[in-house]
Chain A
Amino acid sequence: MLKDSDVQKILDVAMSTTADFAEVFQEETRSKSVSLLNSKVIRAGTNFSSGTGIRLLAGTNCVYVYSNDNDIDVLLSLAKEASHAIKGVSKGELAELQALCHSSATDVVIDPMNIPKSDTVDFLRKASDYAIAYNGLITQVAAGCTANDRLARVTNSRGLNKEDYTSRIRLSIEAIATKGKEKQTGRVAPGTMRGYEFINEYPVIEKTAECCETAMRMVNAGYAPSGKMSVVLGNGFGGVIFHEACGHALEATSVGIKNSYFTDKLGEKIASDVVSARDNAKIKGEWGSYETDDEGNESSDLLLIENGVLKNYLVDELGSRRMNCKPTGCSRRESYSYAPTSRMSNTYICNGNSDPKDIIANTEYGLYCSQMGGGSVDTSTGDFNFAANEAFMIRDGKIAEPVRGATLIGKGQEILKNIDMVGNDLECAAGMCGSQSGSVPVTVGQPTIRVSSILVGGRDAE
């Protein structure tokens, strides 16, 4: 990390023309990973990287320069170029740097970076060996673990001087079942900001068995039907639909330029009465958490929707200028090579009052998606698409046969209004979210919910 005096020099140069704000973001990351295929260790890697990003703002005009050459002369030269490119009207104020403050949302007992890779290999081998021996239908199993830590320091022309440390581990176990030409997978991929104790406590055999069961069920399943129907979305990763179809449309990245169907809707009813939702970056040890955001603001526990009414947007510094409101501590970036922008952290639909069993029992005919895959959304039109990794038909209020190949499509703004039952079994699940400022760790979550009508794109007509 640069000395305070060097950072001050960069800020001096950056603010020497017409910027009203300048920021120096420094980052150091370390990562180590191993992956096994059918119990053989086929990959083991280690990485160290560091770099610096310098951002200048003049109103909503932004200049961003970055380099992984941390030589002060290189950075001063970049700051100079940036100061010539910024288009403000007058010279902004520059405060002296405050004393450095540290923060961290990690909850680490055993530092994963100090664990020998051989220990991780032994752990992953338990999953791999168990899955291969589980059933003749299981033909491949991939298991991997990545640990990384990141020290990010944000300094700016207002004198802010903060350093935030995060340490994360993510595990993945994937079993593949084969039947003739058909191959289907069952997968778990938990992530945490806790230490290696998370791995030591993880019920690896139980979870591996679940992966095998899912893969075997899906390889034996028929195709999902096509058409509009009631869909019950299981808890945990089912929340990916809310994340994509609603969360992204609440980010200043799209709201700030009026490219969101939720623009100018604060205080309005955007979802059914049973829907409340939060974006909470303050949950200690959770995969998507952080204490200080990538602009140096304290993170927040933000109420997004309360009983169907839109309460807050996710706003970063640039968005706050476009929207004339305060930032909400949600500015994030994958690394120094991205300018930060408004992003989600741990985003979930809050618990409701229904028992998940009653939700199924009250559904005469429909689809139950017990495990969702990925999807995407166009925030200007609301068009979304999601794939179900594991799904079952619901017939006469009971879970019936498994089906595969189901994709759910619709409009985000409509689906929120069609949520008619919310369960009381909230769970969160780890994921990676890709957007303008790169790929960042997030959790998605929800209790079991029912959507009265979604178009299911399957292959079989019913």
Chain B
Amino acid sequence: MELKKAEEFMSKLIAEAAKYGFEECEAFYADDITMSVEILEGQVSSYEQSTSQGVSFRGFKNGQMGYCSTSLFTDDAVKFMLESASENCDVLNDEDREFIYCDENNKELYFSQLSDAYDKNTYYRFKELGLELEKEILALDPRIKAVDYLSIDCARGPILIMNSKGLHSYRDTDGVSIYAGCRAEDSDGSIKSGGHYWVGNDIDKFDMEGFLKKLSGNILGKMGARSCASGSYSTVFTNEAFMQFMSAFIGNTFATAMQKGLSLLADREGEKIASECFTLKDVPMFETALNKIPFDDEGVLTTEKAIIDHGVFATALYNLKSANKAGRASTGNGFKSGSHIGVSPTNLLVVPGEKSFDELCAQAGEGIIITDLSGLHAGVNAISGDFSLLCEGYLIENGKKGRPVEQITAAGNFYEIIKNIIEVGSDIINIPAGQGEFFTPSVLVNGVNISGES
């Protein structure tokens, strides 16, 4: 749909809302245009293309904010949305006020970051690249038996927000991603799987050689893995593993979780909660971020801030509702979570240190490297911080990466882990997360409980 048509529909929705008793209201439009090519056994196995749009409405009436969403843009849809949102207001009795917002000095917000390179994302380009990549992966080593999943995807989408206070906010983004997952078989018949991904906004910048090297390490390095003895280990979490680990607990820094009694960080801003060498920032306009975010989904301008500053819990992340409850200003972290406004980081950054990955291993001396964590949606208690997770990796022997390990669990507590970080590496990577990306290096942690062979 053309943006203009969406705008007309939204204007009508906002104009009609007063008739249903809404004192303030907002319409939120998102458009998602995607394309995906999958390769299997020397052929395009799947090609997908899509366009989907939706509008969600929120309106303030009798002290409550009612929501409704639809993918239809008709006069009947206007009636349906306003009636439903009104019914929702009638049953709500939330004590904490939600806001429709417009900064008088920033009524018109506009930020377009669509890349010129997006037009390179054609079916034929993806197909050629995918087939070449599959061929190169299979040529890496005779033990690699299949590339079970190889997908090249791109997406672009604008977000338009209009409200009854005069806010007119537009932002958009695009991106392209590649993922390959393959299967290898050792001479003894044992099977290992592994994958690697790439994200960017220009397909020409895809570094095939670097991708193959990393993928090869991810899968062939695991061959011959076996369990190891249970015990407490000095542990290097690789950048990817540490990103996975942090993502499971980042919700504890959201003011919404704290105010619901679902985070142990409540009322602890200013307190030392982590190691001196650990700094975690929310950087909306991070220089190398693919998705820069100058304002949030409530029309609040975003700012760079340390969440944990040299171990001190500097600030939680707030949207307008949680900030009002705490008697402070929003941090510009109000973003849509499903249909409702929640809290989300923009681009997260673990500030890197000086040491390379190899130097972290050397510092550990004897220990373990964790490269993959499984079951993060189940094996963690996000509130208490307790975790027990299936993981894979390598032993560290004499300060160097040793034999691969599997069928082990790492167990402990998030709050203990961040206190026990003794060194932050310099090998920063970026992985899509939250509204943007998570940038993190590897870290060395003292004393992680590993369960393996008795």
A residues contacting B by CB (< 8 A) are 32, 34, 37, 40-51, 60-69, 78, 81-82, 85, 87, 116-118, 121, 139-140, 176, 178, 181-185, 224, 226-228, 257-259, 261, 337, 339, 373-376, 378, 380-381, 383-387, 404-407, 409-411, 455-459, 461
B388 & A387 in contact (Cβ 8 Å cutoff): yes
Decide: A176 near B46, CB < 8 A? Known: A45-B339, A68-B52: no
A62 & B47 in contact (Cβ 8 Å cutoff): yes
B101 to chain A, nearest CB (A): 19
B48 & A64 in contact (Cβ 8 Å cutoff): yes
A44 & B47 in contact (Cβ 8 Å cutoff): no
Between A and B, 11 residue pairs with Cβ closer than 8 Å are: A48-B71, A49-B71, A50-B72, A68-B51, A68-B53, A183-B383, A259-B148, A337-B50, A387-B375, A457-B409, A457-B411
Q: Which of A41, A50, A184, A375 contacts B92 (CB 8 A)?
A: A41
Number of chain B interface residues as a range: 35 or more
A42 & B388 in contact (Cβ 8 Å cutoff): no
Residues of A within 8 A of B148 (CB): 257, 259, 380
B49 & A62 in contact (Cβ 8 Å cutoff): no
B40 to chain A, nearest CB (A): 6
A183 to chain B, nearest CB (A): 4
B residues contacting A by CB (< 8 A) are 1, 40-41, 43-54, 66-72, 77, 80, 84-85, 87-95, 123, 146, 148, 183, 191-193, 230, 260-262, 264, 339-340, 374-375, 377-381, 383-384, 386-390, 406-412, 449, 451-452, 454
In the complex, A42 Cα to B321 Cα: how many Å?
Answer: 12
In the complex, A176 Cα to B381 Cα: how many Å?
Answer: 12
Q: Which of B43, B383, B451 contacts A176 (CB 8 A)?
A: B383
In the complex, A146 Cα to B158 Cα: how many Å?
Answer: 29
A381 & B454 in contact (Cβ 8 Å cutoff): no
B384 & A407 in contact (Cβ 8 Å cutoff): no
Please name 12 further chain A to chain B contacts, defined as beta carbons within 8 Å, in addition to the given A374-B375, A407-B379, sorted by A numbering. Answer: A44-B92, A46-B68, A48-B72, A69-B51, A69-B53, A85-B47, A117-B88, A183-B264, A339-B48, A374-B377, A380-B193, A457-B408
Q: Which of A51, A183, A261 contacts B384 (CB 8 A)?
A: A183
Q: Which of B340, B374, B454 contacts A385 (CB 8 A)?
A: B374
A387 & B379 in contact (Cβ 8 Å cutoff): yes
B364 to chain A, nearest CB (A): 21
B122 to chain A, nearest CB (A): 11
Query: Of all chain A residues, which has the CB nearest B85?
Result: A46
Query: Of all chain B residues, which has the CB nearest A140?
Result: B261
A76 to chain B, nearest CB (A): 14
B49 & A374 in contact (Cβ 8 Å cutoff): no
Query: Of all chain A residues, which has the CB nearest B193?
Result: A380
In the complex, A10 Cα to B378 Cα: how many Å?
Answer: 43
Decide: A227 near B378, CB < 8 A? Known: A61-B45, A62-B47, A410-B407: no
B454 & A373 in contact (Cβ 8 Å cutoff): no
Residues of A within 8 A of B52 (CB): 51, 66-68, 337
